[in-house]
């Protein structure tokens, strides 16, 4: 009897700990800013590789503690098992009985985010290696979000019910300041709104619905942006601090201008259109019109999204169209038809200027575009050699060309001889982006008809189709490396380093190189073209800000000039540019 009791005590005692051959993870989730505990955070572990012998916590011989949850894989083990724990009041968590291996650890809680990197929130994710009979400690830092809230009123001073509100972060695209939309929310039945967001700067504004063919009361309303302007260029961001609240009330004004119309004819040129079975009429109406302002506003990103440029229009089977509710200003008017056979868009466009009256008699003749042929040549030796057919080409529109056209073209293949062809390409201003380049390689030039289009892009038209574009790639570029020093000349980790070309070539994104310093403040930039550059190191900087002329003008004196020589290795020491 005594032997049986002793045996039971030994078994139970062993089960209370971590079984032999398994490991454990414990740690703490806290605020990245002050190390304060974050209670109630959910810590999830997901095996990175299939582990058929993994033991979920819920399968342990003893029941798991109340704050420990286990989620097993779906049927047939399609997904790896997911194991989760909830942090206690001290922000601590512990997970036992884990099969050794690599796990992805993710911490989450409502309105909490991973540490901010260059002003942008990240995910609180870490990779953890679990070893048998060992406990690994993992601490996770998170940032508490804040809330922007307020009241929206209509032009009569009454609550604007179910009225759309947008928030956007300051950002840069191709050197231009833009709004990076972070979300939309509608006001409630009291005209109030409440938006939880990560800390940072935000533009915020109320936006009436896009005018449609059916009249709506909002058709006569204008957008309103903080601090009380209908002009996006005059809008200013609010600063939302960690755990803070910002109140923004907005009063929507009525339109101070008279909406105008644009009318004309745009015929669908596609062959084999089917006649209506009842009327026997072939509908040759164009099904998509877009208006892109000639002077782009911060939320106008034609190469990314044209949602702000969609217009209300009506058409007739004979191709007649009428676009309604157009504000005064200069625009590029696009008519577009999708060709399911070629998977391309037929397009036509023309400039229109709305002053104080409607525009009539616009004729848009849609075309299928022309073919652009080209060839990529590779110089410089590497091991293994750079094969042209490992490269791909992506087009970027540098003018107002709608993104649907680019998206329909997709990725262009390059053959083993470096040749490629892009059929049915619309006339527009393009940049050709080469993907698949190894880190050591760089594009050295692009030429067509004996003229370089590398820096300023290609103005493609039917005449250009008679020539072939030549793209030159150098496989063995130069290297720039160095160290960034921060306070007290100590190495600065996680600094953003940017190599910037001279002002005469800053429109060319291929010439920029960026890197992030490691824990020792060290960085390496590979695949650099020989030439003169200015190099900077920032503690925090918005992505792409270094391509903006105004931003660089403010920072120029804080960079260092470097001359990158052929077949050389450039070393440089930089001082960290801190957030002011």
Give the pLDDT of residue 6: 38
Average pLDDT rounded to a whole number, residues 276-293: 90
Tokens representing 87 are 């942090």
d(CA 259, CA 325) in angstroms, rounded, equals: 5
pLDDT tens profile 68-118: 333 333 334 455 567 999 999 999 999 999 999 999 999 999 999 998 888
Supply the mean pLDDT for the chain: 87
pTM above 0.75, yes or no: yes
Number of C-alpha atoms within 13 angstroms, CB side, residue 312? 16
More confident: 5 or 205 = 205
Strand order in the sheet with 442-448: 419-425, 370-379, 468-474, 442-448, 451-452
d(CA 94, CA 81) in angstroms, rounded, equals: 17
Which residue ranges form the domains of the chain, and what is each CATH number? 17-144 (2.60.40.10), 146-251 (2.60.40.1120), 260-364 (2.60.40), 370-474 (2.60.40), 479-575 (2.60.40.1120)
DSSP-derived letter for residue 450 is T
d(CA 28, CA 535) in angstroms, rounded, equals: 38
| Least confident segment among 136-140, 221-225, 311-315, 457-461 | 311-315
477, 561, 578, 574: which is closest to 525 by C-alpha? 477
Q: Say yes or no to pLDDT of 48 above 60.
A: yes
332, 305, 303: which is closest to 394 by C-alpha? 303
pLDDT tens profile 457-490: 999 988 877 789 999 999 999 999 999 999 889 9
Give the pLDDT of residue 219: 78
pLDDT tens profile 23-36: 999 999 999 989 99
d(CA 451, CA 464) in angstroms, rounded, equals: 11
Which residues, including other chains, have CB under 8 Å from residue 122's CB and lie 6 or more apart? 113, 114, 115, 116
Question: For the chain, what's the residue count?
Answer: 580
303, 307, 347, 309: which is closest to 326 by C-alpha? 309
Average pLDDT rounded to a whole number, residues 170-180: 91
Tokens representing 205 are 């504004």
Number of C-alpha atoms within 13 angstroms, CB side, residue 245? 5
Radius of gyration of the chain (CA): 30
Which residues, including other chains, have CB under 8 Å from residue 19's CB and lie 6 or more apart? 55, 97
Give the pLDDT of residue 52: 45
Which residues, including other chains, have CB under 8 Å from residue 72's CB and lie 6 or more apart? 56, 58, 81, 82
More confident: 499 or 207 = 499
Average pLDDT rounded to a whole number, residues 425-430: 94
Q: H or E element: which one contains 15? A: helix 2-16
d(CA 99, CA 133) in angstroms, rounded, equals: 10
136, 133, 128: which is closest to 94 by C-alpha? 136
Q: Grade residue 211 by pLDDT with cuts at 50, 70 and 90.
A: low
d(CA 535, CA 63) in angstroms, rounded, equals: 58
d(CA 454, CA 416) in angstroms, rounded, equals: 23
Average pLDDT rounded to a whole number, residues 430-451: 96
Q: Say yes or no to pLDDT of 395 above 70.
A: yes
pLDDT tens profile 237-273: 999 999 999 999 999 999 888 889 999 999 999 988 8
């Amino acid at each position: 009897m005594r032997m049986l009791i002793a045996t039971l005590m030994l078994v139970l005692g062993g089960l209370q700990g971590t079984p032999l051959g398994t490991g454990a993870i414990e740690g703490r989730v806290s605020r990245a800013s002050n190390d304060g505990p974050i209670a109630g955070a959910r810590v999830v572990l997901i095996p990175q590789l299939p582990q058929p012998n993994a033991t979920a916590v819920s399968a342990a011989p003893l029941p798991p503690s109340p704050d420990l949850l286990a989620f097993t894989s779906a049927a047939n083990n399609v997904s790896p098992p997911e194991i989760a724990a909830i942090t206690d009041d001290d922000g601590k968590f512990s997970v036992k009985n884990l099969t050794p291996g690599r796990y992805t650890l993710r911490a989450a809680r409502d309105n909490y985010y991973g540490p901010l990197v260059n002003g942008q929130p990240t995910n609180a994710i870490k990779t953890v290696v679990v070893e048998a009979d060992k406990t690994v400690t993992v601490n996770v830092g998170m940032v508490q979000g804040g809330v922007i809230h307020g009241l929206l009123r209509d032009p009569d001073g009454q609550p604007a019910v179910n009225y759309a509100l947008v928030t956007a972060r300051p950002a840069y695209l191709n050197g231009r300041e833009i709004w990076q939309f972070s979300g939309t929310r509608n006001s409630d039945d009291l005209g109030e709104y409440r938006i939880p967001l990560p800390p940072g700067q935000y533009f915020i504004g109320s936006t009436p619905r896009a005018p449609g063919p059916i009249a709506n009361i909002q058709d006569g309303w204008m957008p309103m942006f903080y601090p009380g302007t209908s002009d996006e260029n005059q809008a200013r961001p609010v600063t939302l601090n960690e755990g803070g609240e910002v109140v923004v009330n907005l009063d929507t004004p009525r339109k101070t201008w008279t909406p105008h119309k644009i009318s004309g004819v745009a015929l669908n040129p596609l062959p084999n259109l089917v006649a209506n079975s009842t009327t026997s009429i072939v509908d040759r109406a164009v099904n998509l019109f877009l208006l892109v302002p000639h002077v782009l506003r911060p939320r106008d990103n034609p190469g990314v999204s044209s949602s702000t440029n969609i217009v209300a229009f009506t058409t007739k089977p004979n191709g007649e169209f009428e676009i309604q509710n157009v504000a005064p200003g200069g625009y590029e008017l696009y008519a577009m038809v999708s060709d399911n056979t070629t998977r391309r868009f037929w397009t036509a466009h023309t400039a229109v200027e709305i002053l104080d009256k409607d525009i009539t008699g616009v004729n848009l003749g849609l075309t299928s575009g022309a073919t652009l042929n080209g060839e990529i040549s590779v110089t410089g030796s590497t091991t293994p050699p750079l094969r042209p057919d490992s490269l791909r080409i992506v087009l970027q529109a540098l003018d107002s060309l709608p993104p649907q056209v680019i998206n329909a073209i997709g990725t262009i293949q390059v053959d083993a001889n470096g040749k490629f062809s892009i059929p049915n390409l619309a006339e527009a201003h393009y940049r050709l982006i080469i993907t698949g380049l190894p880190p050591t390689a760089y594009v050295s030039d692009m030429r067509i008809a004996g003229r370089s289009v590398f820096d300023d892009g290609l103005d493609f038209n039917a005449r250009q189709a008679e020539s072939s574009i030549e793209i030159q790639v150098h496989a063995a570029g130069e290297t720039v490396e160095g160290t960034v020093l921060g306070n007290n000349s100590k190495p600065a980790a996680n600094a953003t380093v940017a190599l910037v070309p001279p002002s005469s070539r800053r429109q060319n994104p291929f010439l920029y190189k960026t890197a992030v310093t490691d824990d020792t403040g060290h960085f390496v930039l590979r695949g650099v073209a020989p030439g003169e550059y200015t190099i900077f190191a920032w503690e925090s900087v918005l992505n792409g800000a270094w391509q903006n002329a105004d931003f660089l003008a403010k920072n120029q004196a804080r960079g260092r000039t470097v001359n990158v020589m052929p077949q050389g290795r450039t070393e440089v020491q930089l001082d960290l540019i801190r957030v002011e």
